[in-house]
Amino acid sequence: RRPAAARSRWPGPSAPEGRLGSDRPCMDRHRDAYAAPIRFGECCRLAPVLCVATTIIALYAEYVLLHGWRLLQHDLPPETRMHDMVTRGRRQLAAFDVVTALLLYCFACCVLVHPGTIPSGAEWELADTDDRADRADSTGSLGATLLETKTTGERRHCKWCLKYKPDRCHHCRVCNMCVLRMDHHCPWVYNCIGFRNHKYFLLLLLYSVIDLAIITCTMWETVWWSTRVDVELATMTALVVGEAFAAFGLVSLSVFLGLHMWLLAKAMTTVEFCEKSLENASYNSSVYNKGLYGNVCSVLGPYALLWLLPVALPRGDGMTFRAPLALADAGDDAAAEEPGSPASRACMMLSSRRPSSNSPGGGSQDEPQGEPQGE
């Protein structure tokens, strides 16, 4: 692996001292070897971000300067302008400017907002074998609320961060940290998509699709006009290339947005979707499914009127998730043991997500090797 100084990650919290006995010096060295240095220190990983930003600026400039300028007819005297065309141009530019502003805000939030990670604290710091029994009483209530555990019933932990992992938390090998409710790592925003920036990511996709749809549908008349009148070759080429690029991006991002909307409706993250693919499990059920409305609220926030705006983030800490109805009923042992009952199906779904104890490295200490690294 590359030395820590050569990698660019989110700054990680310093490790508490003096709780792991004789194993502490070794674990401290292990933690320091994978410490998270300052972000944006690896310039090559900024290339995709700059590529996205350049594309947004280029399409915006082309739409405003070539298409909008023609509709507004600023090169003609006011008395000779076609007022219907001017009105249409103003409406199109106003809608395009608003959506682009929201898109840029969500893009900045996806890059800059921390996705959330495991906090520092005695209840999350990994203890050695002798110390685990002494701390079992203080963390017993926390462990009882976990839905994902090892096959032995113990809490999952990350062997890289040396911390216990809450439900739906996974270690990103690119950002070198554990991410709360990790969806995936996105190289286009140089960040992980997790609990605290998942809404920004979905809205970024939505605003991108709307912007590209506006360009594709409204700029076509200017492209057609450029092929019928005497315009410069460079102008016509820019219009044709921009229209083709916008149409291609519209189709691609619409498919990608549709996938993430489907995952949202099913209460699954991309990591959980890939786990189900590897295990040939059903995609129609999730232990975190709270119904369509509850699933949307868990990502887009509790206020339906603000779902499509980058405000009112979802409630919670990203570490504890309320059990759905089926798991709530699973408190009755008889109901949980009854074949075909909702509680039994929930327990079976949960068991299918636990890694096998026969897997390399203890099975549940590290994340699956098939964990997604980007779109």
The residues assigned a catalytic role are 186
Burial 319-350 (b: 16+ CB within 10 A, else e): bebebbebbebbeeeeebeeeebbbbbbbebb
Quote the tokens at residue 234: 């460079």
Backbone phi, psi, residue 200, to 5°: -60, -40
Burial 135-155 (b: 16+ CB within 10 A, else e): eeeebeeeeeebbbebeeeeb
Quote the tokens at residue 72: 């507004």
In 3D space, the residue among 372, 352, 375 whose CA is nearest the CA of residue 179 turns out to be 372
Q: What span, in angstroms and rounded, lies between the C-alpha atoms of 160 and 174?
A: 12
In 3D space, the residue among 252, 289, 286, 221 whose CA is nearest the CA of residue 375 turns out to be 252
Give 4's Cβ-side CA count (13 Å radius). Answer: 16
